Chains A and B, each alone.
Chain A
Amino acid sequence: MPIVQGSGSTRNEHQKNKGVWSDSGSPGVVANSIIGKPAPLKDSLKKVTGEAVYADDMKFPGMLFCRILRATVPHARVKRLDITKAQAMPGVRAVVTGRESGVRFGVLPVSQDELSMAQEKVIYTGEPLAAVAADSEDIAQAAIWAIEVEYEALTEFLRPQDSLKDVEPAQQIHDKVEKKHPKTNIHKAVDQEFGDVEGAFKQAASTPNASFKFDGISHGFTEPHAVIAHWDAEDRIQLYTPQQVPHYTHRALAKVLDLPMHQIQVIRTTVGGGFGGKSDPFQHEMIACMLARNTRRPVKVTMDREETLLTGRGRHPTESKVAMAFDKDGKLLALDSDVLIDGGAYGSFGVVSAYYNGVLSNGPYLLPAFRYHGKRVYSNRIPSGAMRGHGSVNPRYCTETLVDMAAVELGIDPCELRLRNFLPPNSITPHHKFRVTSTGIREGLMEAMKRSEWSKKWGKLPYGHGIGVGCAWYISGSALPIHWNKLPQSTVHIKIDMDGGVTCHSLAADIGQGSDTMIAQIVAEVIGCKLDRVHVKSTTTDTAPIDLGSYSSRVTFMAGNAAREAAEVVRKDLAAAASKLTGQPAQYFDFAGEEIVCRSKPSVRVGFMEALHEAQADRGALIASGSYQSPPLGGDFKGSNAGLSPSYSFSAFICELKVDPDTGFVQPIKVWAAHDCGKALNPLSVEGQIEGSVHMGLGQALTEQMRYRNGQMLNANFLDYKIPTPFDTPEIEAIIVESHDPEGPFGAKECGEGALAPVIPAVGNAIFDAVGVRMFEVPMTPDRVLRAIEAKARKEREA
């Protein structure tokens, strides 16, 4: 895989900006013997051999099985809920309903709007109403069907437009709505304006604008939700759950169960994919704990695929009106967007989504004037939430399409127009004060252009064959924690005893993205030992120091920095021991290849184990702790926190494809995917993340959509929810761009999410190059593409 060096940033430039730039770059000499080398993920053998233990694989003595009764209507008052028949069935050990707890929870402190089970009313088809724990799944299911429910219909809100209207309080889905619109079903409204937007549009040479529509999509992770709760004899509760964010679940459990946090242990099981879909605290987690409390026996909930899709939290269905202004040279002047976001039944991460849909349009291009009206509404549909590229993917399609339209109108090559507008490194965006440390997007785009032979192809391929470009940026960790406090965002502990094993403790969740391997690589690099000495324990809240978890692309940057800091403490201990053994000053030692070598006299060296045992004299195991906290960032207006990150990743993708003009089918041929991840700590893993992002992005671009009939999802299974197969997936050339971020661990930034967004507009723009039609609806299914081609032909005939 090609690795391109970005000319991103230099340390000197950062030092000129003292006060803004905090310097947590890696001091001293590192050997780069492990960092930057491809390393298979530490859990990969277990996964491919089937040894990895998922929650549904686990069995406990006396374990009960839970099934959940779900609402069969989108919005209704519950007139009657009768569980007596279910309770009387042999083998049924407990039945719980909404009466169990009226405590509301949710991932964001500002949107605590979920009940463990519905009480007076249900608000979407699929909402939990009751649950049964029984000796077998069969019995539990039979008991579920024995529960009698009577509903009284309420007005259903199934189109986001309906949720904007003023309604009677009884028709509101939730009591608490946006303060500015108290009689509606609007969850969150964001209105921002910076710079002279009107003036920019008046003086512009090109003002492309369009209305866009995006269907909701699902994460499509492999492992359906499955958890086990156990209320033990010591009155502590253990919850085994495939969580991306064990810490927030831990907090929510304490609130709902009314227990101190230390009485609860959350144990992350192997996560069979998350992509944002396992980052909310969930109703089934609460339900399992309640049933475990009532029965004092372990209780397992395993969802089927349909329930998993109904649990939702996928990408929001979105409708946007967007306009951009450019001068005659293609310089971007302004962006004006109005976005309606269908949040479904709950708040989830929606307040963040409402901001991100606007503010993340402040890159990767310098944007002098900005206006955004975003409304995230409640509806009686499946709850939307955070999904890979959260809040940035749909608006990115809009802006990249409009940028392309401007390029065509102004007669400028679309890549060239983008090159004229990129944010420079070491800069701060004019209004939102987003601090861009490093960026390799220029190098990335130029490399993708070279490899794809862009200049020979764009506008020059035969009809039906096209090439298109899309660029993006993304946060490398949200700078602000969800729960406002002074604690570090990531902490890593290291313990080394005389056996020579290096145990790292962290609550950063390895969800398949390889964070355990990342931590091991960083620690091994700093203390100069082999990678297989390092073992990462990242599953259990009792032993792991708090980490905010795997969301917002924060783990490599934040947990990586915490691991580096902890390892440097150990390194100092080992250096002191080597100094004692050799008489050389401690600061003169290099660490690599299991040896501690005197820099000035390389013949003077101490083995890793020898130094370790010397360091352990009189004190036992070496213990170290490191942590990371984002530097203070941002402006001082309302909502200024949204979109802040200590660093940003950048990507530039080019897609070549063919469109069948008779059928509308789009066949991607190749994607050149240049992504600036700062420094590829593990190029193998980075390549995998880029390829996965491209595949997932192509799914949203071409085939995936959550289809509804009234409030019911029509395709809540993997035959009808169309994830691209290997045959639908083109060759992907991952181009790793290294811009060496001054604050990332060894220069690293994120690569798990940002690489998704550019795929979709690259496809849309390539379709335009192929057949001359702009696609304003995503996914770009064959019938939609064909309709656009036919409409164009009709227009041309009429003209």
Chain B
Amino acid sequence: MTMLLPKFELHQPTTLAEAVKLASAHAGDFDFLSGGTDLLPNYKCGLNAHGHVISLAHIAELKTITRDSIGAGVRIVDIERNADVPRSVAFTAGQIASPLLRQSGTLGGNLMLDNRCHFFNQSYFWRNSLGYCLKADGDRCHVVPMINEGGKSVLNNKVCVATHSSDLAPMLIALGADVTFAGPDGSRTIKLNDFYYGDGIARFEHRPGEILVKVTLPKSAHEVRSGYKKLAPRQSIDFPVAGVGIALELDAGKVKSLRVAVGAVDTTPVLFDFSKPANVKALSSYLLTDPYKNMPDVMGKQLDNALIETISKHIQTQCQPKLNVPMEPGYRKKMCGVLTRRLLAELRDGKTV
């Protein structure tokens, strides 16, 4: 039950190229360390610790912040206090963890946060008492013990439902942000929303040796109405147990575009893109939430209270949180609707953070 840090070799590269090389050299047995606020507590619990830790703290290329792009190594507090990034992004940064943790946590760390589950985020002793789980040291899921396979109920030794608990991810996804990676084969840029994929273990589409370099915001991020609302047991320090980020464009009160991203209710953030429901990527088969099933057509419609209610109800209906983080799933589901309703009304009425 010790909280001692396991032994590992620490690497401290000063350039991206060097870091990529180290990552390739230690493929399969390393973790990147940025602020350490997520990784080190997990290591102390003996959660999937590796023999090598590659610190990204000394790489200047990761630390630039401009109006349109934020380096992965930028501290949360520096986003929170930046006057040039969209207000909704700065506000969301200020909702993360506590003032002290925001001094060390980084953007990259928040986006690549390990998924959370009350059967996973426990000490070695605790997990030993319970019997380990799929996500660390074990072969079963204690949250969803049985799954349906070919019409039969079988032991769930496949799908992890641990919750993705980032605050910034849903906000940035709603704004349509891109992420850029540096890797052994050069750099690539994809939609942040396409990055998240898979169950509570796989979590994202991350290629070997790749390092998250920056998040780029589209020009529209500064123009749309956007905001974030977080549900957490306390007003500081807690991870979200539901979080709603919205980017909305209105034309004479009518919906021109609407993207709602919900965090902390599934294994990845879930984007409800009301603007282009017909043109969405194939959803991960793991994702429990299906945003596009029975999605109401809202485009060009007056965003009155009735329409807001329709949108909120849809989101509430589709979100399928599990009993694996604080607060009951039924309650969190209901709150997805409440947060959406309130945020949409605020954005419509021009209330800004």
Contact = CB atoms under 8 A, between A and B. Distances in A.
B235 A725 contact: yes
A374 to B, nearest CB: 31
Interface string B203-229: 000000000000000000000000000
B26 to A, nearest CB: 23
A782 B235 contact: no
Interface in A701-744: 703, 709, 712, 714-716, 719-720, 722, 724-728
A445 interface: no
B305 to A, nearest CB: 14
Nearest to A71: B129
Interface residues of A, number: 33
A622 to B, nearest CB: 50
Interface in B317-333: 326-328, 330-331
Interface in B117-131: 118, 121, 123, 125-126, 128-130
A306 B4 CA distance: 13
A67 interface: yes
Contacts of A712: 126, 129-130
Nearest to A716: B126
A137 B234 contact: no
Given A72-B128, A305-B3, A782 B118 contact: no
A728 B233 CA distance: 10
Of residues A304, A709, A724, A726, which shows the largest number of chain B Cβ atoms within 10 Å of its Cβ?
A304
A663 B121 CA distance: 27
A290 interface: no
A125 interface: yes
Contact of B125 (A72, A722, A783): A72
Contacts of A307: 1
B153 interface: no
A306 B331 contact: no
Nearest to B334: A786
A70 interface: yes
Interface in A682-715: 703, 709, 712, 714-715
Given A703-B233, A728-B235, A783-B328, A70 B4 contact: no
Nearest to B332: A783
B338 interface: yes
Interface in A304-320: 304-307
A714 B121 CA distance: 10
A531 B129 CA distance: 54
A306 B129 contact: no
A786 B231 CA distance: 14
A662 to B, nearest CB: 5
Q: Interface size class for chain B?
A: 20 to 34
B2 interface: yes
Contacts of B65: none
Interface in B93-128: 98, 118, 121, 123, 125-126, 128
B94 to A, nearest CB: 12
Contact of A727 (B4, B235, B328, B338): B235
A726 B236 contact: yes
A67 B3 CA distance: 11
A725 B236 contact: yes
B237 interface: yes
Given A782-B331, A783-B331, A703 B128 contact: no
B247 interface: no
A703 B237 contact: no
A141 interface: yes
Contact of B4 (A137, A722, A724, A782): A137
A641 B123 CA distance: 44
Contacts of A72: 125, 128-129
A211 to B, nearest CB: 21
Interface in B227-246: 231, 233-239
A125 B3 contact: no
Given A663-B338, A720-B326, A703 B234 contact: yes
Given A719-B237, A726-B236, A304 B3 contact: yes
Of residues A67, A306, A726, which shows the largest number of chain B Cβ atoms within 10 Å of its Cβ?
A306
B2 A67 contact: yes
A137 B2 contact: yes
Contacts of A715: 118, 326
A712 B128 CA distance: 11
Contacts of A86: none
B237 A725 contact: yes
A304 B2 contact: yes
A766 interface: no
A683 to B, nearest CB: 30
Contacts of B98: 725
10 contacts: A70-B1, A73-B129, A304-B123, A306-B125, A662-B338, A716-B123, A725-B236, A728-B234, A782-B327, A783-B331
Interface of A: 67, 70, 72-73, 125, 137-138, 141, 304-307, 662-664, 703, 709, 712, 714-716, 719-720, 722, 724-728, 781-783, 786
Which 7 A-B residue pairs are closest in the complex by CB-CB distance? Answer: A727-B235, A72-B129, A783-B331, A304-B3, A725-B236, A141-B2, A727-B236
Given A307-B1, A722-B326, 7 more contacts: A304-B2, A306-B123, A306-B125, A662-B338, A712-B130, A781-B233, A782-B331
